[in-house]
Structures are given as structure tokens and as C-alpha cells.
Amino acid sequence: MTYAQNLKKGTSLCFTGSLSAESLAELKACGIDAVEFSFNKARYYDEFDFVNRAQDYADRVRVAGLEWWSLHLPFSGKLDISILDDALRAEIMKINTEMILAAGKAGCKVAVLHPSSEPISDDIRPQRLAYSRENIIRLREVCDSVGMKLAVENLPRTCLCNRSQEMIDLLRGTGAGVVFDTNHSLVEENVEFLTALTDAGLEIITLHISDYDFVDERHRLPGDGINHWTGILAALEKVGYKGPLMYEVPKQPKEREPITTAQLAENMEKLAAGEIA
């Protein structure tokens, strides 16, 4: 077997947009092993009552035969741990903290965090970096309290962590690790970006796998883009990554036909087998 065939196959629930027992059972039936919860704040709070019902959803995932691997904390222009407005920054920290506590107590392993939103101009970037780092440390401490790991995501365009050195400088010494998104780097090639992070001693805790055109994020299936998948997987193997091959692809990728759960799972099998270079 290849290295990647020994990793679990996972998907963000941005694919189904659902926490229903039926949708979870379909993922399992197609050979998927693990899931990442990924919804906006309105759905987490108003539809799912997540903070109060996290254990219910954990049980639902378990009954379906899946692993609840990660929780993507909600994000938007205002839901931003680096935002300059003190009141808004405090509010998103309250939301992130209570969500992490609920998820960790229910058995989720990883909290996925955006270090910022955008746009961020050069003149305010140092202050945004300072606020982001301060709150990454605070949220990592919250994760520690419930046995979770905090994974901070590399982001595109003017967001924080749009370059490897900035991400290294931001995260080094915080105790947080990385969720590496293969669809976000618009300046550095992904293998170079990933290798720079791991050479600096940052841990790749989890992944967001999708393909793109190096112009903007596209969230397409691997093979429908320019990523060097053989190189990415080799870099992950070199550092002993053992998390899932966690896809972050919607049912309707940008400018593409809708994809089925079976097609998603088939792509995972091909990527793991080395059939997508």
C-alpha cells in the first residue's frame, strides 16, 4: 500500500451541508472515515444549537461509523480574531471558546481556526498579526483544557498567513499547529510552502484538500487543477503526517458540474493510490 492509502479518508461537511443521520450514513457507505464540521455561525447557533447539543451530534457521527475529527470554527469579515474592534474581537473569542469547549467535551480532536479575515492593508498588518497571535495562544490553551489540538489555516489574498514565513513567524512559540489548505497559496507553490512550515518545526495537524488554478481558491477535486499531488504527499510522508486526507470540496465546485458522494470517494481512492499526480 502507498503511504496515503494508510491514511483515513475524510470530508468537510461543507460537502453535504448537513448533520442528518442519513447524510452521515451515505458518507460512510461510500467509504469515508472521518468528518469535519464546517458551518457558518448562524447554522451552528440558530439551526444546530451546537454549544448545547455537541454531544448529540458526536453520538450521531459515531452511530454512522464515522470519526468526528475536526471542528471548523465559524469565520466572516466580523468573526475574526485579529479584528481591530475590541468588542467584536471579544465576541468572536467568546464564540470560539464556547464552541471548542463543547466540541472537546464531546470528543472532537481538532479545532480549525482562521487567523484573520480580509482585506488587510500593509499599515495595519502588524497590529492584526499581534492580535491574532495573542488570541491563537488563548485558544490553544482552551484546546489544551479539553484535549484538543488547535490548527491554524494558511489563507489566500491579503489574509494573514498568505506566505509561509509570515505563518512561521505568527505560529512559532504559540503551541498551535497548522491546517494546510492546498487551495490557498497564491504566491508560493504548495510543496515549497508546506516544506517551509515543517522545516521550521510547525506540526501539520490536519489538511484541507482541494485543487485550484493558482489564481484564486476554487475548491475543486484533486486532478482538476495545478497542484503537484505526488510532491505534497511526499512532503507529508516525510514529516510523518498521520491525520486524515481531509477534503474540503463542496458538492458544487466553482465553475464545475455537481459531484456525488461516490465521485468524491472515488477521487479520494485515486489520490491515495497515486493515480492523481
3-state secondary structure 187-230: CCCHHHHHHHHHHCCCCEEEEEECECCCCCCCCECCCCCCCCHH
Helix, strand, coil percentages in the chain from 3-state DSSP, rounded to 5: 40, 15, 45
What CATH number should be reported for the domain whose range is 4-273? Answer: 3.20.20.150
User: What secondary structure letter does DSSP report for 20?
Assistant: -
Domain limits of the chain? 4-273
Over residues 100-128, the pLDDT tens digits come to 999 999 999 999 999 999 999 999 999 99
Band (pLDDT 50/70/90 cuts) for residue 24 is very high
Distance from C-alpha of 167 to C-alpha of 215, rounded to nearest angstrom: 20
The pTM for the full model equals 0.97
pLDDT at 254 over 90: no
Packing angle between helix 125-145 and helix 164-171, nearest 10 degrees?
50
Question: Stretch 147-165: mean pLDDT, rounded?
Answer: 98
What value does the mean pLDDT take over residues 137-162?
98
pLDDT of 166 higher than 90: yes
Question: Band of the pLDDT at 64, cuts 50, 70, 90?
Answer: very high
pLDDT single digits (tens) 72-96: 999 999 999 999 999 999 999 999 9
Q: Are strands 177-181 and 149-153 parallel, antiparallel or unpaired?
A: parallel
Average pLDDT, the chain: 98
pLDDT digits (tens, 9 = 90+) for 220-239: 999 999 999 999 999 999 99
